[in-house]
A and B are shown apart, each in its own frame.
Chain A
Amino acid sequence: MTTKFFGEPVRRREDARLIVGQGRYLDDIGPGAYAAAFVRSPYAHARVLDIDVSAAMDVEGLLAIYTYEDLTGPMAEPLPVLIPHPQLTAPRTGYPLVRDVAQHVGEPIVMVVATDRYVAEDAAALIEVSYEELPVVVGVDAAEAAVHTVHDDVPDNIAARHHQETGDVEAALAASAHTLSFTQYFERSASMPMEGKGVHARWDDADSSLRVYSSTQASTSVRAAIAAKLELSLEKVEVIAPDVGGGFGVKIVHPWPEELLVPMAARLLGHEVKWTEDRREHFVSSAHERQQRQEIRVGYDDDGRITALDVLVWHDNGAYTPYGIIVPINTATQLLGPYDIPVYRAVVNSVYTNTVVVTPYRGAGRPQGCFAMERTMDRIAQERGIDRALVRERNLIQPDQFPYDWGLTFQDGRPLVYDSGDYPAMMAKLKTLVDWDGFAERRAAAEARGKLLGIGMAPYVEGTGPGPYEGAHVQVLGSGKVLVSTGLTSQGQGHETVFAQLAAAELGVPLEDVEVTTGDTRRFGYAVGTFASRAAVVSGNAVALAARGVREKALRIAAEVLEADPADLEIDEGLVQVKGTPGASIPLRTVAVLSNPLRYAFDEAARQATQFAGPGDDSKPPVAVGDAPGLEHTDYYSPLRSTFASGAHAVVVEIDPATWEIAIEQYAVVHDCGTIINPMIVEGQVHGGVAQGVGGALYERMAYDRDGQLTNASFMDFLMPYASEVPDVDIDHQSTPSPLNELGIKGAGEAGVIPGSAAIASAIEDAVGRRIAAMPVSPTELYDLVRSDAERVINTSPHDSGAMA
């Protein structure tokens, strides 16, 4: 590979299109489509007694009304449990439309199709559903108490009890010099992409085939699900993810009911049908994440080194478990962070509640794990009177301990083995970046202004790039254009740029000659999807391998023409040339023409390629035995196991003790995702992650009341931060390449969000001198906290302790 483009801050090629409104999002597709609208449960837990559609039948423009009774075959069966697990002992999923009992507000009960969305909404508003209300379970505490149940046949409300351990934790705790135990809470938030979900389906009656556009993170798998549920042969279904306005995890779940129902209706009605999720629907019928209660017991020695760690987590999985126990496993395994912990046990009880399903949202269980671990570190530091940074440093895995095998199993089913990293150097960089040791002066200056300043830090380790595989197809056309396609989808990450950089670097062509297509099953049918910070690692390596295959073929063909050894050839700026022999060259586009000997001449390139115009040897066939026409290659990359990125955040908060407003004065990030393909894109990913981390720490919560009503289901009351609330981010990179893949890369997509709540909680605690045991925290809660009898905290650091301490 040439190093050109690789590692360069190449500008995002997709941005011009997206910024000026030339993006093609789901709702831009099929303006003449019929529109679907849904009647959704207004109750968190209720039996549907009767559905009276009579009043709606008179609405002009109404085309169809579907209830559970109209579903047949596999459509009438429960939605799939996508990722079964032996410890998921009581998996439950809903039906595409509620059969008997609605398990959360927002669950779809009736689908209405009409000439447009207004008419569909009018008709939906006239459908009368009668319900028998059932007792509601909201929150992990109520789920654990199990006074009421979500699913009749799950009496303890426990879907899964995930359990992993590395040794005898009880014995290790008993043998520890010191122990601590405490409980803390983490709230719900959600992915909240700017574009909600959406589905457009078109049935071709003559061809008996279906084309579906979905705002999804997994088009190949949506395709398989639709084919299975609608009993269509796979080749009769195409699924395309168009431009997608953000995913952040919620769109990896599939098939959503609407992804099946809209195609079903398109087929039955013989007409295009579209559904575009509105914001309220997204709040109450997509997915949330993050609520947990964490019960932590830790043993440590005089120096603050952890000798045993025992964690019991009560994890709220909402009403169903379509995505298995990925989030609980991530919490259990990624909680460990960069620390060398000799004996560890994690139990995660994943419980049902009458709320929206919980599935991965950027970070996917890791922010909670980081919160558990880092709050533990702060407590040990406080108990021992040791600087918080020093306690962390004393517990770090050292560079000579890699590969570090935990003896645990990661979410991909493979061993939890850290591949590489340099955590001590990372922490040193962070302390420099935030001037950890010089904080006393800043605190004093703030106090002179009547403000409370606090500092906190939190490192993390993130398993990224899990398998099983991704693939890519690279083709050079006679025009010189290079087509790259991979089945994995894009939601704004910059894949068009990064995959083009990889292909251009491998092939030696100008970047502008490369065109990237993702998430289109017509172009590439085998893929897993975009999640778990895996696109660059898994598809990136596949693109590089496929481009290398093309390069090898190009050199082979060119070698014949140039009468040279392929090993003596190089490709630069789209020209294949003999090294050190100016003039002995052939354009790559000509090689592409020669690779496809034709019989018919329909344009200039084809004229050159007709078998009669070929340069060939009359003693050989135009296409060599074992070879194929065309300058193209398909290849796959399948990682041995996940690769482990790492990072550390430090935050300085300033708190106004007259209003308890919390301002972020500084946000510092040290980030290590191995070899970087495009530093600008990595920094953008970090910025976005930090924004969501700040949102989760200070602003966002899903405010369910005890009846299971989401009381803040709009952007007026669900406080996603604006740009004005997101701090500037100081970033320092570190690069410890992964030994697991040839490019040395690790994932970067989720990293920025992981330590947000942990670091900010630490900083607030440092500023106000009171224990922060739940996140997020708002000014009104902080005011209550400082007036309460909450535990007072003194951080021993190389600076004075908290002003209120």
Chain B
Amino acid sequence: MLGGDPHPVKPAPFSYADPVSVEEALDVLAAEGEGAKVLAGGQSLIPLLSMRLAAPATLVDINRIPGLSGITAGPDGVRVGALVRHAELLASAEAAGVQPLLGRATANVAHPAIRNRGTTVGSIAHADPSGEMTAVLALTGGSVTVATPGGREAVGWGEFFLGPLETSVHGPAVVLDAFFPALPARSGTAFAEIARRKGDYAVCGAGVVVTLDADRRVSSARAAYLSVGLVPEVHDLTDAVIGQPVDSADWTAAGELARGLVDPDGDLHASADYRRLLVATLTARTLADAGAEALTRMEAA
């Protein structure tokens, strides 16, 4: 048996590269192999290093690569560059105008200090099922652009997330950006989460999109959850409320439907049953808010 404290709080030795182009970054990643890790905002990686829960041989810092910054909001959606910090996205009125979930979810990401440094794309690449932005990428049907030595390609969220902290990207690769499709017409969104302490990882969180038909009846109700599964989960709850007038829809029934669809684990802070309760409650509450917003937007349009 091996002795020694398994979690001393200083990083193990590593080498550091700060490439100035995507190609150079890929070269370093290819040369270093499995032992290399991409560093962007460092808000997840650096604590793992400091507790020696991760000991990569090389850190490839992409912060000096030009062209990875910036938010591009267009009619189709919002493209968020790999170096965009959560705080920047949170402050972007253009992004919120195209896809309101971006601002709503980002406001729930940790604390201001972490939002100032952590990147939205980095948290997606980290693939933590408790992450707000993984859920939003899934709910909006988004994708990421992945650069590999073979070229660049868009990878849809369903293909990208394989498991907790695990993505389909293997070998040398850099996620260049994330694309969040625009909110459809006659739609509204809401996002809410419950954490033990303000800014903690959510015990449970929900983001929802409600879409109405021309008669102000619910035509679609979809939800994505945080901290209830191994990967971001999107559930279609439309059956519970289809065709119901938005101002009298039975959102509670949608919540109960969701409660039966999820299969969360229990941990120190929440039992599985408690998480199911929160799924039901948050679903009903956020759907009601999203429905009201859909109506407002529809009337304003």
B167-225 with Cβ < 8 A to chain A: 194, 196-201, 203
A125 to B2, CA, bound (A): 9
A625-661 with Cβ < 8 A to chain B: 658-661
Chain A positions within 8 Å of B203 at CB level? 779-780
B3 touches A130 (CB 8 A): yes
B3 touches A42 (CB 8 A): yes
A75 to B3, CA, bound (A): 23
Contact of B65 with A by CB under 8 A: no
B1 touches A725 (CB 8 A): no
A175 to B20, CA, bound (A): 86
B5 touches A40 (CB 8 A): yes
A42 to B199, CA, bound (A): 31
B198 touches A39 (CB 8 A): no
In the complex with contacts A699-B197, A719-B197, A724-B199, A39-B5 CB distance below 8 A: yes
Contact of B260 with A by CB under 8 A: no
Number of interface residues of A (CB under 8 A): 46
Interface 9-residue window, one of B25-33, B135-143, B234-242, B269-277: B269-277
A128 touches B2 (CB 8 A): yes
Chain B positions within 8 Å of A121 at CB level? 8, 10, 12, 52
Q: Which of B9, B12, B201 has the most CB of A within 10 A?
A: B9
Instruction: Name the residue of chain B whose CB is nearest to the CB of A43.
Output: B1
Would you give the shortest CB distance from A365 to chain B, in whole angstroms? Answer: 26
Contact of B4 with A by CB under 8 A: yes
Contact of B292 with A by CB under 8 A: no
A281 to B269, CA, bound (A): 23
A40 to B197, CA, bound (A): 31
Contact of A743 with B by CB under 8 A: no
A279 to B5, CA, bound (A): 13
B8 touches A278 (CB 8 A): yes
Interface residue from A280, A660, A783 paired with B7 (Cβ < 8 Å):
A280
B278 touches A659 (CB 8 A): yes
A122 to B14, CA, bound (A): 12
Contact of B75 with A by CB under 8 A: no
A42 touches B5 (CB 8 A): yes
Contact of B163 with A by CB under 8 A: no
Instruction: Name the residue of chain A whose CB is nearest to the CB of B196.
Output: A719
Contact of A703 with B by CB under 8 A: yes
Contact of A435 with B by CB under 8 A: no
Q: Which of B196, B277, B278 has the most CB of A within 10 A?
A: B196
Q: Which of B5, B196, B197, B200 has the most CB of A within 10 A?
A: B5
Would you give the shortest CB distance from A69 to chain B, in whole angstroms? Answer: 15
A778 touches B6 (CB 8 A): no
Contact of B68 with A by CB under 8 A: no
Instruction: Name the residue of chain A whose CB is nearest to the CB of B277.
Output: A783
In the complex with contacts A118-B10, A121-B10, A38-B5 CB distance below 8 A: yes
B6 touches A42 (CB 8 A): yes
Chain B positions within 8 Å of A724 at CB level? 197-199
B244-301 with Cβ < 8 A to chain A: 268-271, 273-274, 277-278, 281, 285
Interface residue from A117, A122, A128 paired with B3 (Cβ < 8 Å):
A128
Chain B positions within 8 Å of A507 at CB level? none
A37 to B2, CA, bound (A): 17
Contact of A717 with B by CB under 8 A: yes
B13 touches A129 (CB 8 A): no
B281 touches A658 (CB 8 A): yes
Contact of B90 with A by CB under 8 A: no
A39 touches B268 (CB 8 A): no
Interface string of A40-84 (1 = CB under 8 A from B): 101000000001000000000000000000000000000000000
Contact of A602 with B by CB under 8 A: no
Interface residue from B3, B8, B277 paired with A659 (Cβ < 8 Å):
B277
Chain A positions within 8 Å of B269 at CB level? 717, 719, 778, 780
A109 to B50, CA, bound (A): 22
B196 touches A39 (CB 8 A): no
Contact of B57 with A by CB under 8 A: no
A779 touches B5 (CB 8 A): no
The main secondary structure of chain A at its interface with chain B is mixed
In the complex with contacts A659-B277, A725-B197, A280-B3 CB distance below 8 A: no
A702-743 with Cβ < 8 A to chain B: 703, 711-714, 716-717, 719, 721-722, 724-725
B3 touches A127 (CB 8 A): yes
Chain A positions within 8 Å of B271 at CB level? 780, 783-784
A280 to B269, CA, bound (A): 20
In the complex with contacts A39-B3, A280-B7, A783-B199 CB distance below 8 A: no
A614 to B11, CA, bound (A): 66
Contact of A131 with B by CB under 8 A: yes
Would you give the shortest CB distance from A691 to chain B, in whole angstroms? Answer: 13
B197 touches A780 (CB 8 A): no
A122 touches B197 (CB 8 A): no
A131 to B4, CA, bound (A): 11
A717 touches B12 (CB 8 A): no
Instruction: Name the residue of chain B whose CB is nearest to the CB of A780.
Output: B274
Would you give the shortest CB distance from B271 to chain A, in whole angstroms? Answer: 5
Contact of A124 with B by CB under 8 A: yes
Instruction: Name the residue of chain B whose CB is nearest to the CB of A130.
Output: B1
Instruction: Name the residue of chain A whose CB is nearest to the CB of B111.
Output: A722
B44-85 with Cβ < 8 A to chain A: 51-52
A280 to B6, CA, bound (A): 10
Chain A positions within 8 Å of B198 at CB level? 722, 724-725
In the complex with contacts A117-B10, A127-B4, A711-B277 CB distance below 8 A: no
A724-781 with Cβ < 8 A to chain B: 724-725, 778-780
Interface residue from B4, B51, B52, B268 paired with A712 (Cβ < 8 Å):
B268
Instruction: Name the residue of chain B whose CB is nearest to the CB of A35.
Output: B10
Would you give the shortest CB distance from A285 to chain B, in whole angstroms? Answer: 10
Chain A positions within 8 Å of B51 at CB level? 280, 714
Instruction: Name the residue of chain B whose CB is nearest to the CB of A116.
Output: B10
In the complex with contacts A658-B281, A725-B198, A780-B270, A37-B1 CB distance below 8 A: no
Interface residue from B13, B199, B273 paired with A122 (Cβ < 8 Å):
B13
In the complex with contacts A39-B4, A122-B12, A125-B8, A703-B197 CB distance below 8 A: no
A659 touches B199 (CB 8 A): no
Q: Which of B1, B200, B278, B285 has the most CB of A within 10 A?
A: B1
B4 touches A125 (CB 8 A): yes
A712 to B7, CA, bound (A): 13
A128 to B269, CA, bound (A): 34
A721 to B251, CA, bound (A): 33
A722 touches B3 (CB 8 A): no
Would you give the shortest CB distance from B205 to chain A, in whole angstroms? Answer: 12
Instruction: Name the residue of chain B whose CB is nearest to the CB of A721.
Output: B197
A749 to B235, CA, bound (A): 52
A713 to B51, CA, bound (A): 12
Chain A positions within 8 Å of B201 at CB level? 716
A713 to B5, CA, bound (A): 13
Chain B positions within 8 Å of A280 at CB level? 5, 7-9, 51
Would you give the shortest CB distance from B191 to chain A, in whole angstroms? Answer: 16
Instruction: Name the residue of chain A whose CB is nearest to the CB of B204.
Output: A659
Would you give the shortest CB distance from A710 to chain B, in whole angstroms? Answer: 11
Chain B positions within 8 Å of A712 at CB level? 268
In the complex with contacts A42-B6, A122-B12, A125-B8, A717-B268 CB distance below 8 A: yes
Interface residue from A110, A117, A124, A699 paired with B196 (Cβ < 8 Å):
A699
Would you give the shortest CB distance from A384 to chain B, in whole angstroms? Answer: 35
A244 to B285, CA, bound (A): 47
With A42-B3, A125-B52 already in contact, 18 other A-B pairs whose C-beta atoms are closer than 8 Å:
A110-B3, A118-B10, A118-B13, A121-B8, A121-B10, A121-B52, A129-B3, A280-B5, A280-B7, A659-B194, A714-B51, A717-B268, A719-B196, A719-B197, A721-B197, A724-B197, A724-B199, A779-B196
Q: List 12 A-B contacts (CB under 8 A).
A: A38-B5, A121-B12, A127-B4, A128-B4, A129-B1, A278-B8, A661-B194, A724-B197, A724-B198, A779-B194, A783-B273, A783-B277
Taking beta carbons and an 8 Å cutoff, which residues of A are in contact with B? 37-40, 42, 51, 109-110, 117-118, 121-122, 124-131, 278-281, 658-661, 699, 703, 711-714, 716-717, 719, 721-722, 724-725, 778-780, 783-784
Q: Which 3 pairs between the two chains have the least Cβ-Cβ distance?
A: A129-B3, A724-B198, A278-B9
